[in-house]
């Protein structure tokens, strides 16, 4: 299912957009980050905030060398690869080239695919719409569960039980359009279960990408 294995290996990836901003979510929230957003996702979250990314064909296959060159123009040493679902692609060339330039590399993924790429930070955001692979529980440095329904708290805990790294950080993030309803529940939950933390999509408050 790794689309690039038949598409000139990993020398080109469907690039939707790249932008220099502040990581808005999770453990690295507040940190300057260069975002690389790859097109293509078949997970189908009904509340996905970047549905324009889903069709990979709508996004130009771009040489990895060009993506890396652009990342180097920003002042940060922190790159976030997101999508779409970046786990659909073999990311080893991209990640290796970013590492060659001493950049730290994080990925945002649903964990629905096993992928190649030696990332420094694996943010795992599991979805009901397509089950994660076992590897996701092994690689996760951060578990970030979107809360869209009251039953999602139990669901989040079930995923946390399967994590392999004992120091994996745990986050609950309200679904953006339901924040008013779920943020108070998340706050109460975190006060009861302090191993969890609140994650907000702070870039949306800051009106930045």
Ligand X SMILES: Nc1nc2[nH]cc(C(=O)O)c2c(=O)[nH]1
The annotation places the binding site for substrate at 22-24, 37, 82, 209
Residue position matching structure tokens 């590897």: 135
Question: Which CB, 10 or 110, lies closer to ligand SF4?
Answer: 110
Among 74, 82, 110, 173, binds ligand X (CB under 6 A): 82
3-state secondary structure of 89: coil
What letter does residue 133 receive in the DSSP assignment? P
Question: Which CB, 68 or 84, lies closer to ligand SAM?
Answer: 84
Prior bond of 84 cis (ω within 30°): yes
Q: Are strands 121-124 and 142-147 parallel, antiparallel or unpaired?
A: parallel
- Tell which residue, 138, 146, 204, 188, has the closest CA to residue 166: 138
Question: How many binding residues for ligand X (CB under 6 A)?
Answer: 10
Q: Are strands 78-83 and 104-109 parallel, antiparallel or unpaired?
A: parallel
- Tell which residue, 100, 119, 118, 106, has the closest CA to residue 78: 106
Subset of residues 164 to 193 that bind ligand SAM, contact rule: CB under 6 A = 173, 175-176
3-state secondary structure of 85: coil
- Tell which residue, 209, 189, 105, 119, has the closest CA to residue 147: 189
Subset of residues 60 to 99 that bind ligand SF4, contact rule: CB under 6 A = 83-85
Among 1, 8, 44, 49, binds ligand SAM (CB under 6 A): 49
Q: Smallest distance from the beta carbon of 82 to ligand X, in angstroms?
A: 3
Q: Which stretch binds ligand X (CB under 6 A): 22-30, 133-141, 165-173, 174-182?
A: 22-30
127 binds ligand SF4 (CB under 6 A): yes
Residue 79: in which H helix or E strand, if any?
strand 78-83
97 binds ligand X (CB under 6 A): no
Residues comprising the binding site for [4Fe-4S] cluster? 41, 45, 48
Binding site for ligand SF4 (CB under 6 A): 41, 43-45, 48, 50, 53, 83-85, 110, 127
Binding site for ligand X (CB under 6 A): 21-25, 50, 82, 108, 203, 209
């Amino acid at each position: 299912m790794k689309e690039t294995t038949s598409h000139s290996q990993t020398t080109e990836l469907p690039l939707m957009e790249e932008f220099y901003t502040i990581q808005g979510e999770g453990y690295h929230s507040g940190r300057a980050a260069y975002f690389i957003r790859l097109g293509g996702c078949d997970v189908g979250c009904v509340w996905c905030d970047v549905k324009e990314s889903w069709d990979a064909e709508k996004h130009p296959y771009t040489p990895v060398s060009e993506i890396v060159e652009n990342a180097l123009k920003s002042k940060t040493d922190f790159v976030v690869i997101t999508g779409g679902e970046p786990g659909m692609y073999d990311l080893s060339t991209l990640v290796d080239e970013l590492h060659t330039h001493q950049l730290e590399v994080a990925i945002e993924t649903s964990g629905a695919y096993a992928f190649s790429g030696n990332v420094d930070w694996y943010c795992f955001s599991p979805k009901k719409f397509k089950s994660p692979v076992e590897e996701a529980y092994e690689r996760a440095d951060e578990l970030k569960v979107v809360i869209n329904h009251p039953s999602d708290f139990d669901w989040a805990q079930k995923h946390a039980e399967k994590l392999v790294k004992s120091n994996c950080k745990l986050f609950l993030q309200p679904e953006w359009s339901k924040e008013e309803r779920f943020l108070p529940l998340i706050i109460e939950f975190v006060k009861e279960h302090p191993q969890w933390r609140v994650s907000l999509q702070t870039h949306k408050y800051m009106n930045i990408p």
